Each structure stands twice: as structure tokens, then as C-alpha cells.
Structure 1
Amino acid sequence: MSWSLIIRLLVLALLIAFLVAPESFAFLLQPFTKIGQPAIYDRGTLWGLTLSHLAITFAATSLATLVALGLAILVTRPFGAEFLPLSRSLANIGQTFPPVAVLALTVPILGFGTAPTLVALFLYGLLPIFENSITGLTTLPPTVTVAARGMGMTGLQRLVRVELPLALPVILSGVRLSTVISLATATIGSTVAARTLGEIIIAGLTASNTAFVMQGGLIVAVLAVLIYDGLSALERFFVARTTKGSSLSPR
């Protein structure tokens, strides 16, 4: 077991311990509070807020992945190539309108809570996945695709058994970037009453309690690093797997 893995596991264990029993770490945060202020956020459980934050992030990223990958598959087929400009424009919407602006536009329609945050994160996460999916599907080794056609595979068989498996590492790279961006951006969801870790940061800023701001920010930062590393490891696994070659025999 490498030292880097041991350090990551130790950090994960410390994070879980902090979320489950934050009072045990109060002495570390107490110096950052004013007289009479609590060191640990006490208007909700850190564990519950973290799970809610992760659920919102992964729900938005999963939906963005389905839509972005579907659009990428469409525009990389001969019959859908003409829709590339339109699809790229749709994927760019989230980058054109900041998440705060999306929240301002969606709250009057969807109300306060999780829904506006999901919409903002979904739109913001489309572009990295869409562009990486297109790159992965359009930069496949020509010899592999020609061999697949020569073996009589249908278009669907080539997509499912050849193109997507070979493009998966590049697609995962886009998903990784989108996930980390959404994880950090989800904190603003608390401004519209979504249950995220931004609730702790906002409470700290409102009460001038640096300890609250630190614990909310640190939890998000540690989660981002751990998730980034985990998805990077998954990406490396698929890279190693695809380099061994893929079976092209039709079923």
C-alpha cells in the first residue's frame, strides 16, 4: 500500500470522525470564535448537511452526464452532425449564465429549496462532460473502428462495444471536472434554502464566526480532493483496461 493511499485513507477517516463527532474537534476551532460563540455549527448536524450536499451534487452531475453524453452521441453520428452547433450552444448555457443568475431565474418558477440548485448545477456541469464526450468519441483509433465495421458490427454494436469503452477514460475526465465544480458550486444553494454545506458558511459570515466558515469550507475542500482522487483512480483503471485491447467479435 502506497503512502499516498494511506494519507488519503487517513484524511477520509478524520473527515468521517469530524462529521460524526464534531464536538471532539471543538478545541481546534475555538480560537477562531469570539467570546460566547459556539465553535461547532449547532443548527443542524454536519453529517446530515454533508449527505444532503453530496446527494444534490451527484444528482445534478448524473443528470448532466446522461444529457451531455446523449447529445455527444447524437452529434457524432452522421445523421446528427448538423445538430452540433445547437448542442454546443445548449451545453454552453450553464457557462454563459452564472449559477447565481440561474438561481435568481428559477426560484420564481420552482420556489425555494433543492430544485433551483439542481437546475443551476445541471446546467453548469454540462459543458465539460459534453466536450470530453465528443473528444473521446471522435479521436478513436481508426484501425479499431475500421476493424469493427469489417467484422459486420451494426452502428449500435460499435457504439456500445467499441466506441464507448474506448472513449470512457476521456468521458470520465469530464465527469470528474464537472463533479468537483458542482461540489464547490452547490454551496450557493443555501442562499435559496437548499440543505448544503453552504448553510454553515453563510451562518458563519452572518454571525462573524470564523470557525463556522472554516469548518464548512474545509469539509467541501476535503470532499473535493477525495472525490477528485477517487474519480482519477477510476479513470486510470479504465485507461489501463482499454490499453489491453477490446474484443471486437460480434455476439
Structure 2
Amino acid sequence: MLKKRIWLTLCSGILLANCAPAMVQALSPAKPSALKNVTLTVSPGTVAKKVTVKTMPAIANDPSGPPFMNGEPEHFYVQFDSDKVPDYTGLGDRMLVVYPLAEYGKLFKGKEKAQFDKTVWNLQTVIAKKEDGGMKELPALPAIEAYQVFHTHVKHLLFKQGKGIAYVTAYAQDEAPINNGDFFYTYQGITDDLKYYVSLSIPVKANGFPKDCPSKKAKAFLSALPSSSFTPNLDEIDKVVQSISVK
């Protein structure tokens, strides 16, 4: 979602746009699905009344046009309540996606493949060291054609078959001030067997957040708030993460 900025994560960053390709080309499965015999379950907790797990077809990557890294492998998409399911997955929307990691990487070549590998490596490093090592941007997929303005409320969380990091974040394409709703919670994780990449994003708002707030003040303001001062409560979103099962 892009107002003067793209609002998207409490978690883990690449460059991929909120503008989908003009034409979305679905790939015909040439081999058995990587999702065959795989089951995804998740509890909506208090974040939603219901969830629906959908299997989405692969989308061919088009390196000649925007956005950067625009392909997606066949994947699971979790719809919260009756939210619209987009043709193209946008980080920052209320959604949960699970990608088969090997198939995801095979979509890209050259600079895009290098960026994909770097993102996955950075996430694995943050998970292993339990610190970000001063990274300016925390890793996140799918990619966004914008920069990560800040990240705060960073947590290391386990789900049933893996681990990852959660955080609150915002993305932008310019220096415009930040308003309530321009940021979101995101979780970026990988299953312990390294087969699946988990990405969750939930838009959040903060009690008392000032209008047209500069980015540095926005981060300081949000960092000082307890989880309960966000809507939804960040602790409640954590519970959704911890309920995720991919087996």
C-alpha cells in the first residue's frame, strides 16, 4: 500500500514494488508440486475471526520490467477473514504466505538471484546470532521497491517447525512524514529443514501516534510503546506466529 510511502513490516527487507506487473503470467506446473502432501495450519487468535488457506499458482519472474524480483513460486496464501486476495503478494497487506524456498530461488538470475540469496542468508544470520549486527534493513520477502525506513520491537520467535524474527517497520520511496497506519508488523521465518520460507504481515496502528511525524521521531515514539498500545496488540500477533505449522 503506497500513500506517499509504502507501509509494510514489524519484522524482516529487499526491493520489490507495490505495483504489480502489468500482466501476471501463471506458470503451468511442469513437475510435481513442492506443496504436495504439505499442510499449513495457523490460528487467527484475536487478530481475525477466521483464516482460509489457499494454494496460489506460480508467477513467472520478469526481469525486464518492474517490480524487482516479481516472480513467485506456487505457494500457500492465508486469507484473514474476507480480505481481498491480490493477484500479486504485497508485503504490508494483512496476509501470511509460505514459499517453498528452493523453488523461490530458482525463479531468479543475475542481480535478482544475488539479492534473493543475500536476503535469505541475512535472515539465517540474524536468527542464528539473535542480533541484527547493525543491519540498516532487516531481511524480508516478498521484496519491496522501497527502502525500510526503520524497524523496532524486534523479537525472535519460534513457530511449530522453525524460527524467525518479528518486528514493526515502515517502507517508503521518499522522505515524506509518517502517519498512523504507515507501518506494520512482520514476521520472517524459515523452517528448520530449510524447505519453507514464512512471511506474515499485519497492519498496525499505535495509540497517540502524532500526525506527520518525521521518521526518527516515529521510531523513537513506537519503540517506547508497550505491545498493548498497538492495535492489534503485538503480543496477540506473536501468538498467531507461534501457532503456525508447516508439515
TM (norm. structure 2) is 0.24
- Higher RCO, 1 or 2 (CA under 8 Å, sep at least 6)? 2
TM (norm. structure 1) is 0.23
In our comparison, the structure showing a higher alpha carbon Rg is 1
Name the structure with the higher strand share: 2
